Amino acid sequence: MARSTAKSARAKTKPAASRGTRRAAAKQRTIARKVKPARKTARKAVARAASGAFGKGRFHVSHERTAYWDPGLRSYFEYRDLGMVALTGGRLRAHVIRPSQPCDKPGDLHYHNLEFQMVYVLKGWARVNFEGLGEIRFEAGSCMYQEPGIHHRVVEYSDDYTVIEITVPADFETVSVAP
């Protein structure tokens, strides 16, 4: 019996927690519950990166002021590689595309053998004809996912037409179907 009396005497001597302290502790528990799922997600992202999916521990910046513009797939466009091909081991390409000359005629009808293609228009506009969809006009702020293998033709573009294109894989086959 002496033990239980000693415990209760110790319990009585502890200072009572203020209402503010209890609220702060409850808030910390709530924050901790919210942070745990985010940590799990972060751990999964790190595990994916560690698997070699995308360059682990790498950092890269590409500045416009030091950019090099290459002639590329289309003679009427030039391409600025953003460095993702090397960083991802060829899994992904990200580049900026702009006209190298004014549009004097429609391009060839073609399609791409790839897994993924996305285009985001930074400025200007273009008209592109897609098989089964017809002509679509893209302008600054437009974002397009293009189904792999869909036949299409660039009909016309503005002199300032500029896009970011992302493709998976980085290198893929383009098949010309008609002039």
DSSP of 104-160, one letter per residue? -S---EEEEE-SEEEEEEEESEEEEEETTTEEEEEETT-EEE--TT--EEEEEE-TT
Sign, CA dihedral 94-74-133-136, equals positive
How many other CB atoms sit within 10 Å of the CB of residue 110? 16
* pLDDT value of residue 53: 58
Q: Are 113 and 149 in contact (CB under 8 A)?
A: yes
Higher-confidence residue of 168 and 73: namely: 168
- pTM of the full structure: 0.68
- Per-residue pLDDT band at 72 (split at 50, 70, 90): confident
